[in-house]
Amino acid sequence: MAPLEFWFEFASTYSYLSAARIGEIAQAAGVELRWRPFLLGPIFAAQGWQDSPFNLYPAKGRYMWRDMERLCEGYGLAFRRPSRFPRNGLLAARTALVALDGGFGGDFVRGVYHAEFAEDRDIGERREIARVLEGLGRDPDVVLEAALAPRNKDRLRTQTELAVKRGIFGAPSFVVGRELFWGNDRLGDAVAACALGT
């Protein structure tokens, strides 16, 4: 059984859909899940995009918001369209690396996405990340100090470089062996690929 790498960006709407579901799905399938936060910003910038494609291409953006509503309804997930999009996912991604080390990564990731897409909170703000950590019974100052340490910042940079090497160009993405799957719609296919041990 191959492990399932889950590559996500906190600014990404469709990553929310996968992050909310993947823990239970992987567990039910008996698949080892590896959470891989990364930054889409540098990847988009290399493609010449200085903003989300959903803002750059308005018809695509209008569609995406309606699609999110429908999908969240189908999954039974809370959703409120954020008053600003995209949010800055940098601090959340740095903090996620620390949370994953500490064994509370899944809960932290789900908490941040919920704050962002169900409560319209600005997850780019330190106080909102602190709120999520407090809700998990963690000391925000301790976790955030580790998140902001130069070595941890470097780790996130390395992780984003690794995403590019994996051929990743959007989020969420799933990697199983040498196979890449892009988009929340491919979560099921990715899990199935784990059983094939690709």
> Contact positions toward its own copies, by CB under 8 A?
47, 57, 59-60, 62-63, 66-67, 70, 164, 167-170, 179-183, 185, 189
Considering beta carbons, is residue 61 or 102 the nearer one to its own copies? Answer: 61
Q: What are the C-alpha distances in Å from 43 to residues 49, 51, 96, 140, 143?
A: 9, 11, 19, 29, 27
Considering beta carbons, is residue 16 or 108 the nearer one to its own copies? Answer: 16
Considering beta carbons, is residue 62 or 157 the nearer one to its own copies? Answer: 62
Helix (H) or strand (E) holding 159: helix 150-165
Alpha carbons 15 and 4: distance in angstroms, whole number: 15
Considering beta carbons, is residue 70 or 81 the nearer one to its own copies? Answer: 70
Min CB(188)–its own copies separation in Å = 11
DSSP output for 52-112: -HHHHSHHHHHHHHHHHHHHHHHHT------SSSS---HHHHHHHHHHHHTT-HHHHHHHH
Min CB(157)–its own copies separation in Å = 19
Min CB(38)–its own copies separation in Å = 14
Min CB(57)–its own copies separation in Å = 6
